[in-house]
Structure formats: C-alpha cells, structure tokens
Structure 1
Amino acid sequence: MSEGARYHVRALDRSLAILRTLNRHNGLQATELSRLVDLPRPTVLRLLNTLSGAGYVMRSESDGRYRATRRLRDLSCGYEEETWLRSVVKPFLAELEAELIWPLAVIRLHDRALIIEALTDHGSQMLERRDCAGTEVAPLVSTAGYLHMAFLPQGQARRYIDHVLATDTATMERLGMSAQDVIDKVAETQRHGYAHLHLDTHSAMAVPVWCHGAISCALIMRMHGTLDARQQIMARYADQLRDAAEVLAGRIIQTGAMIYDTPTDRMALS
C-alpha cells in the first residue's frame, strides 16, 4: 500500500462530494443526494448529520431539503482569484444580470479544460441547479465548448476537437451523438457566430468575447421554461448578449488583463 493510500480518508472525500453537490442545487432530499453522489442513503444521512453539526449544512423544516449554508464561504477565504476576474468580470456580470434577468456565466479554456470563471447562479432565482466558479464543464454539454471548437485558430481548433472526440465518448454515447454530429454543431456555431444548446432542463446561448483578434472566453446566458419560450428568449436577447460581449472585451483590454492569449498559447505547447 502506498503512503498516499494509507492516509487517504474516504469519509472526507464523500463529505466534500456532498458539499459540492449541495452547493450546485437549491436544496435536495437525502434520497436525491444519495443518487447524485452515488452513496447509500444511510451513509449520506450520517455525513449530513456531521456537516450539519459543523454548521455547513442545514435541513429545512418546510420541505425536508438539505442546503449548504453561508458558512461554506469560510472554506474559500484563503483563495485569491485573479485580478481581472475580481475587478472586471464579476461586477460586469452583476450589472448585466440586472438588465437581462437570466443567469449568466463566463467560461474560458485553461489548457484543454473549460473552467467556469464567474457566474451569477447563487444570486439567481431562475435555476434549480446551480454551478460554482472553478468548476470544470464538459465541452459537449456546454455552449462554451462548441464556441471554442469553432473560434480557436484553425490548428488549435482541430486539435481541441480531436481531444474532445477522443476523451468525451461517454457524453457522446449518452447524448446519442456521433463525431459528425459534433463537427456539424461546430460548423453551425461558426455560421451563426454564437453557440446554443437545448437540454432537458434548460437552454443556453454563448457568444465569444474577442480580445485582440482571439477568443478570450465565452459569455453565456441560460434560461428555462418550455422549448418555445426558451427559443423566444434567445431570439430576444441575442443582440444584447453580443453587445455585452464587446463591452466586456473592452473592459478586459482596458485593465491590461492578458487572458485572451491563454487558450492559444497553452494549447500550442500541448
């Protein structure tokens, strides 16, 4: 047995999985949580009781759902976000959500991982499932994935597409997609200049944020309701989201934040 395995604490792994899952949802029953973290319900209940005693989880008397508490923020107080994110993107998203209402996010490509840099989920009443900053998202279920596959420089785009097709076969199988379907979706994104997806729970559209001729990140808006309602919302807000992406690009460039070179420079080395 390796030294790492000897000192591995499985209960801590499970507790962190529970906290991550609760933080993404607006309340869960123990049975729902058990399914999402793939643990027996009695185990989940024991861990919830421990986390509740520590003040990180609370159970609502009205609906019996467990929710993460504000104390969870204590765990992030030692984390320093990048200056551009703290000073530009977060206040920009807050301003934009006040105008557009629907929840927003900024996602960018780190090496070959799509990372949520900032979002307005936790202040929004529009979502049942809430994501977290710092979370990696799967390219084939994210508009940001198709946006980067479409608008990275040609050589890097081809390598990124090949990487996604080779490593995300499980998602393709679950969605019933072929490699050609993915390529067709990328081509559609190139034609339209933005990406959109309609999933069972919600829809999303993403526009590129261009800095000095390169895609720096994706600006995303999500909406729910019937499919017809979601399509109408996309049509209504598409131009505003594009205009907002231009404003965000200007603010990023103005502050000297060099995030626009991250995807291309790093992928060129991989």
Structure 2
Amino acid sequence: MESVKTIRAVERAFDVLRALQAQPDGATLIELQSATGLSGPTLLRMLKTLIAAGVVRRSMTDQRYRNSVQLQVLAHAIAPADRLADVAAPWLDQLCQQVEWPSDLMVHVGDDDFMMVLESNLRQSRFYVRRRYGRIRVNLMASAAGSAFLSALTPERRMALVRAARSGRDVHNAKAIALNDAQARVEEARRRGYASRHPVYRGGGYNGAARDDSLQAIAVPIIGQGQVLGALNINWNRAAFTEREMVRRHLPALQKAAQGIAADAVANGLLADLPGLERADNWPDGVAP
C-alpha cells in the first residue's frame, strides 16, 4: 500500500518558522531566502499566510520578520509532560532502530508507588512483547524502570518512597519490599550503571495479579542538571537473550538515549516546568563489564 504523502507547503512553513527561531533579532526577506532556499514569491506568500495566522509578525520599526508571541503561547500551552514526551520521541525512535526491541520512557510523580509510561516505541518494534499499549502504570519497587529511578535518588527520598509503597496495595511492590534488599539492589544498580527487574517480579500489571510475561528489562535513570526526570528501559523476551548479552549489546545505546533526552529537556527549558522533579544522588556513568 502506498504510504501517505506529506504536505510540502506545511513543511515549507515550518522551515520558515525554524529559520526565524534561529534569528532572535528578526530576519529580512533576503536572509530568509538564504536560510530556507525558497524563491522570493513563494516566501512572500508563505509569510503573508503565517502573518494572517498570527504566528509571524513584521516589525513596524525595522520591517524584519519575527515569530510572534502567539507561537510561544501555543507551545507553552502544551502540558510539560507532553513536551518531555515530544523531546524524547526522536531518541526513542533512534534507539528502536538500533536495538529493535521496544523501550519506554517512564516518569514518577510525588509519592506514587508506580512509574507511568509517558512515551514508548512499542508499536515501532518489530518484535512482539506481551505488553499493553498506552500510558500504563508499572510497579515502583520491582520493575527495572522503578529500580533505576530509585537508585538515582538520595537515600532519604528513596526510603520515603519505600515507606509509601509499603502502605500501598500492589502485590509486586509488597513482594520486593518483604525481601528487605532495596539497599543491596541500589548498590548493585549504581555499580553496574543500570537496573533490572527484581528476581521476584516476572510480570503483571500494577495492582494486578502476578503473571509470567516472559520478559526481562534493563533501565537507566534520566538525569539533567542534577534532577531525575524519569527512567528509560529496554524490554525483551527472556528466551531471546540473557541479561548479560543484552547489556553487552545495547547498554551504551540505552545510556546515550537517556543522556540525549536529558540534554534536550534542559535545552528546551523543561526542568523549570516539570512538576516534582527529584534531586539526583551522583548517579555514576559506568557500564557493566
């Protein structure tokens, strides 16, 4: 089946908006022609359309074109979490192309005893895994993503979340907490540079019954300017690779994607807008041998 074609005029409009974004002092028609490669008549029609839409303005003082404040209003109207998902999407796409197995960007809020899938490349992966689509919840104490997130926190904050999870009803959290090995798992994750599922967790949804989903996962925290934004994982079928094999093959790519997401979030000013970010406790950059 023929793929859906893009609308070239829309692509050109965004070329103009990006060119203006790169010129905080505004741009002349000649400068925009040079930056976009568009002809004079085409560019004039494009600018007239964008001005009518209210996203570009032409200054009465110097006659230079600039992106209007309305464009900024539209951008900031997007929820901070959705802006983080937008920033992460290219990195998740690139990671899936490299690894092929699916990955999830997960975030945590307040004293929740779960991580929430904010963005995922599950539908892009060519491999089938037994997982529901959408922004599902995953237990905090036993999942790879939850373990990576906890391992990046200060000891005081981590213990506060363990206490909060102990009072919850999730069976997976309860099983992990009962073994009283949280500190040992934190030390292991920090030594290896990644976290994996707790051995007692073989699958099952948050607040749902345990079931073996045949999956394994590794995860790393996403840290920007000393703040923990969430965690990024790779999921795979246990029969395909051992954890050691997956780490050897793909941990560097996972770490690079997490670092890229954090850097882009910082560059886009998201850290000031995302609610309840946690302070990181000097997460190491090392990888497992």
Q: Normalising by structure 1, report the TM-score.
A: 0.60
The alpha carbon displacement at 1:159 in A equals 0.3
Task: Evaluate the alpha carbon distance shift between residue 224 and residue 153 of structure 1 in structure 2; reply closer, same or farther with a 3 A threshold.
Answer: same
Q: How many residues align?
A: 185
Distance (Å, rounded) in 2 between the aligned partners of 1:140 and 1:129:
20
Partner of 1:67: none
Greater fraction of residues in helix: 1
Q: What residue in structure 2 maps to residue 264 of structure 1?
A: 278
Task: Confirm or deny: 8 A CA contact 1:202 1:222 kept in the other structure.
Answer: yes
Corresponding position of 1:240: 253
Q: What root-mean-square deviation, in Å, do the aligned CA atoms of Structure 1 and Structure 2 show? A: 2.6
2:211 maps to 1:211: no
State the distance in 2 between where 1:106 and 1:148 align. 11
What amino acid is the match of 2:103? L
Provide the residue aligned with 1:162 in structure 2.
163
Counterparts in 2 of 1:123-142, with a 5 A limit?
A: 123-142=124-143
For 2:183, the equivalent position in structure 1 comes to 183
Identity between Structure 1 and Structure 2 (%): 19
Amino acid in the other structure paired with 1:107: M
SS at match of 2:117: strand
Instruction: Check the 8 A contact 1:116/1:132 in 2, yes or no.
Output: no
Q: Give a deviation string over 1:119-144, Cα, whole Å, max 9, x none.
A: 01122232332233322211133112
Shift of residue 177 of structure 1?
A: 6.3
Aligned position for 1:231 = 244
Q: What amino acid is the match of 1:218?
A: A
- SS of 1:141's equivalent in the other structure is coil
The AA in structure 1 aligned to 2:258 is: A
In the other structure, the counterpart of 2:29 is none
Q: Distance in 1 between matches of 2:270 and 2:215?
A: 32
How far is the alpha carbon of 1:222 from its aligned partner? 0.8
2:234 counterpart residue number: 221
> Could you tell me how far 1:169 is from its partner in structure 2?
6.3
1: distance between equivalents of 2:176 and 2:266? 40
Structure 1 alignment gaps of length 5 or more = 1-79, 266-270
- The superposition leaves residues 224-244 of structure 1 with CA deviations (integer Å, 9 ceiling, x where unpaired) of 142754431222211221122
Cα distance 1:120–1:166, how it changes in 2: closer, same or farther (>3 A)?
same
Cα distance in 2 between the residues matched to 1:149 and 1:230: 20
Q: Does 1:98 align with 2:111?
A: no
Unmatched tracts of structure 2, length 5 or more? 1-77, 203-211, 280-289
- Choose 1 or 2 for highest CA Rg: 2
